[in-house]
Amino acid sequence: MSRRLPDLLIEPVVRMALAEDLGRAGDITAQACIPAGSRMHAVFAARRPGVLAGVDCVRLALLAMDPGATVVARLADGDAFAAGAVLVEAEADARAFLAAERTALNLLGRLCGIATLTRTYVEAVAGTDARIADTRKTTPGLRALEKHAVACGGGVNHRFGLDDAILIKDNHVALCGGVGEAIRRARATAGHLVKIEVEVDGLAQLDEALAERPDVIMLDNFSLEMLREAVARASGSPFGRPVLEASGGVSLETVRAISETGVDVISVGALTHSAAALDIGLDVA
C-alpha cells in the first residue's frame, strides 16, 4: 500500500538541508562548469533491492531549486524494488539539479534504508500475531520522515513524542515509589483519549501493573522464558489482558523467537538508529 506525508511536513526538512549544503554562495562548482540555462535529464536508480520511502523528498528538493522542474515518481513509497530499478525520473535546470542532488539522495537513501530494514523485521515475524514498532530513537529533526519510512516498511509507529501517550518508564517508577502508584497518578490526570503504558522489568512488577489495568505493558529486557510467563499471566489475569510490548536488545537474530512467545508488539530502536542508508545513484539519462 502506497503512503504519503503532507508536503508541509517535508518541506522544512528539505529546505534546511538545501540551505546547509548551499552555504553562503551556492553551488560554485556548477556555476563554474555548467552554462546558464542548460537542462539536465536524469534518473534516481537503486543499486540494491529495497523498499521505497522518501520519494517526495526528491520532488521537493528539485522544485525548491527549480520551480519548473518535471519530476515523475516511477514507484510509490511502500513499494519494493529490485537492484537497477528507476525510482524517480526528472528534468530540470542543470545547475539547479546538481545543487539539489545530494540533499535528494541523502534523504532518499536514509529513508529507503529504514523502510528496507523494517520490512526485513516484519518478514521475520510473519505468521505470528506480533507487530514491529519503532521508538523515539530517531535522528533529531527527522522523526516524522523516519517514522513514515517505518510505516512504508510495514511497521507500526510508537508514540511520536512525549505528548501523545503516557509511557511510564523505570525512572518515573523510581520517583513515584512503585509501578502501581505511578499508574494511579497517571490515571488521575490522563484525558479519556490518552493511553497509558508502563514499563516493567520483572514478573513482580508485571503483577503489580496488571492490577492497575494500564492499556499497554512494556516487558523490558525479558528473557524468552519470562516473556512466555508474562503472556500467560496477562492472559489469565482477572483484570483483563492489556497489550504486551516486548522491548530491549531486539535483533534480527532474536525477533522471531520473541514473536513466538505471544507478545503483541515488538519495539525495535534499531529500525531508525542503526539502519544503513540504501545505495541509490543519480544517472544522467
Active site residues: 102, 137, 169, 199, 220
Give the Cα separation of 240 and 215 in Å (integer): 10
Strand positions, DSSP E, the chain: 39-46, 50-51, 70-73, 80-81, 86-93, 131-133, 166-168, 196-200, 216-220, 243-247, 265-267, 280-284
Q: Which three-class secondary structure state does DSSP give residue 283? A: strand
Q: Which helix (H) or strand (E) holds 129?
A: none
Half-sphere exposure of 236 (CA within 13 A, CB side): 7
Place of cell 513466538: 260
Give the Cα separation of 173 and 199 in Å (integer): 9
Comparing CA positions, the residue from 224, 228, 220 lying closest to residue 246 is 220
Q: Rounded to a whole number, what is the distance in angstroms from the first to the last CA of the chain?
A: 29
Q: If you ran DSSP here, which 8-state letter would residue 275 be given?
A: P
Give the Cα separation of 99 and 51 in Å (integer): 26
Q: Which three-class secondary structure state does DSSP give residue 108? A: helix
Give the Cα separation of 196 and 166 in Å (integer): 5
